Each structure stands twice: as C-alpha cells, then as structure tokens.
Amino acid sequence: MANYSSFLGYSGYAIIYMHLLIALQDAVNTLTVWKNLNLFRNIGAISGWILTVFFPDEDMLYLYLCNMMKYESATTHPLPRY
C-alpha cells in the first residue's frame, strides 16, 4: 500500500476533506429540497381528498354547462351523438 501522506501532505488531506464536506452539504441541501417538495405534494393530495369528501355531489362543470345553455343561439343545432 502506497504512502500518499508525503505526496499530498496534510494540507492536501484538508483540501480533500473540505471538498468532501462541500459535496456532502450539497447532497444534504438537495435532499432537503426534495423532502420539502414531497411533503407539500402529500399535503396537497390529502387536502384534495378532504375536499372531495366534504363536497362530493357538487358537479360544478355540469352546473356551469347547464347555465350556459340559456346563452345558446336559436340557430345552432346540437350535433347528433353516435
């Protein structure tokens, strides 16, 4: 096994150690960002399910389309459904 302490010296080891610490800190920061994004995604999913549970029978799109029928002109004819 080669002895690299004479080649790098103690300052070389300190430089390598600092680079490893910086890389580790970047990895921890990246993981923190992904952890926070995952947390907000889960909160959004749970909030959506809670809203679905409390308001299950209100189909707002259907109500909006039914209300738009009164603005339909008399000359347009609905296309036949096949």
Give me 2's structure tokens. 């080669």
Split at pLDDT 50, 70, 90, the class of 1 is: very low
Distance CA 64, CA 71 (A): 12
Indicate whether this model's pTM tops 0.75. no
Q: What is the pLDDT of residues 25-68, one digit of tens each?
A: 888 888 899 999 999 999 999 999 998 888 767 677 888 888 88
